[in-house]
């Protein structure tokens, strides 16, 4: 396996997440749930993550053949993860950084900035829904929604999406829902993570 040699921007991003205890997102392709976590330690070969996966999920999660870690504006991929009790070890390899995240400009916001999406319900074209933005790039956003919501089904077209930064319009677009998956936060609460691709 080729050793991972991070460029300065990637290294700075990971170190920033470690220092600020920023939330990261971890998923495996054997389980339709994304888990929030934090980076606990970092070296040139591995990212040590807090193990936030409930015991009832851990066996199925570790059976995944592909794992993805999203830290702010960068996503990493590996085919194996080591479990060490309170920690999960995410190895860094030469091809760990997913290429598409280098190509699509992504935006990161500080922890004291409130980023939300105002969405007009496409079924009545009137009701305004406000959802927290989890991630944003030049091509789309992911938002957090209620796990009980029946609205955000893949393929749903949304004609009006305003991304708001501290109450001020940051961008306006239409878009289409491309995924809706379960998200388990640090407190063990289940939400829906909804991916919306902008119509550009």
Residues 18 and 76 sit within 8 Å (Cβ to Cβ)? no
Ramachandran angles phi, psi of 74, nearest 5° = -125, 140
Of the pLDDT bands very low, low, confident and very high (cuts 50, 70, 90), residue 5 is: low
Nearest to 172 by CA among 129, 121, 118: 118
Architecture field, domain 107-198: Beta Barrel (2.40)
pTM equals: 0.77
pLDDT digits (tens, 9 = 90+) for 160-177: 999 998 889 999 999 999
Distance CA(26)–CA(29), nearest Å, equals 10
Right CATH number for 8-103 from 2.30.29.30, 2.30.110.10, 3.40.50.2000, 2.40.40.20? 2.30.110.10
Enumerate the domain spans of the chain: 8-103, 107-198
Of the pLDDT bands very low, low, confident and very high (cuts 50, 70, 90), residue 18 is: very high
Distance CA(108)–CA(43), nearest Å, equals 23
Flag whether pLDDT at 46 surpasses 70: yes
Q: What Cα–Cα distance (Å) separates residue 53 from each residue in 65, 66, 108, 183, 192?
A: 17, 16, 25, 11, 16
Of the pLDDT bands very low, low, confident and very high (cuts 50, 70, 90), residue 194 is: very high
Residues 170 and 111 sit within 8 Å (Cβ to Cβ)? no
Q: What Cα–Cα distance (Å) separates residue 167 from each residue in 106, 118, 129, 132, 170?
A: 20, 10, 14, 12, 9
Domains 8-103 and 107-198 are alike in CATH topology: no
Average pLDDT of the chain is 87
Flag whether pLDDT at 148 surpasses 50: yes
């Amino acid at each position: 396996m080729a050793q991972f040699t991070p460029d300065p921007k990637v290294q700075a991003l990971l170190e920033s997440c470690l220092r600020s205890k920023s939330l990261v997102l971890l998923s495996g392709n054997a389980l339709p749930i994304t888990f929030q976590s934090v980076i606990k330690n970092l070296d040139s070969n591995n990212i040590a993550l807090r193990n936030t996966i409930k015991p009832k999920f851990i066996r199925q999660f570790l059976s995944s053949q592909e794992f993805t870690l999203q830290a702010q504006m960068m996503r990493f991929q590996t085919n194996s993860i080591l479990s060490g009790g309170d920690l999960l070890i995410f190895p860094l390899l030469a091809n760990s950084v997913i290429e598409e995240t280098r190509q699509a400009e992504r935006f990161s916001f500080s922890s004291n900035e409130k980023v939300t999406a105002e969405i007009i319900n496409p079924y009545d074209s009137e009701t305004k829904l406000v959802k927290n933005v989890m991630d944003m790039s030049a091509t789309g956003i992911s938002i957090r929604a209620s796990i009980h919501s029946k609205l955000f089904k893949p393929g749903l077209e949304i004609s009006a999406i305003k991304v708001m930064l501290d109450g001020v319009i940051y961008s306006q677009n239409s878009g289409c829902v491309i995924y809706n998956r379960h998200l388990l936060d640090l407190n063990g609460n289940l939400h829906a993570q909804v991916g919306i691709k902008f119509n550009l």
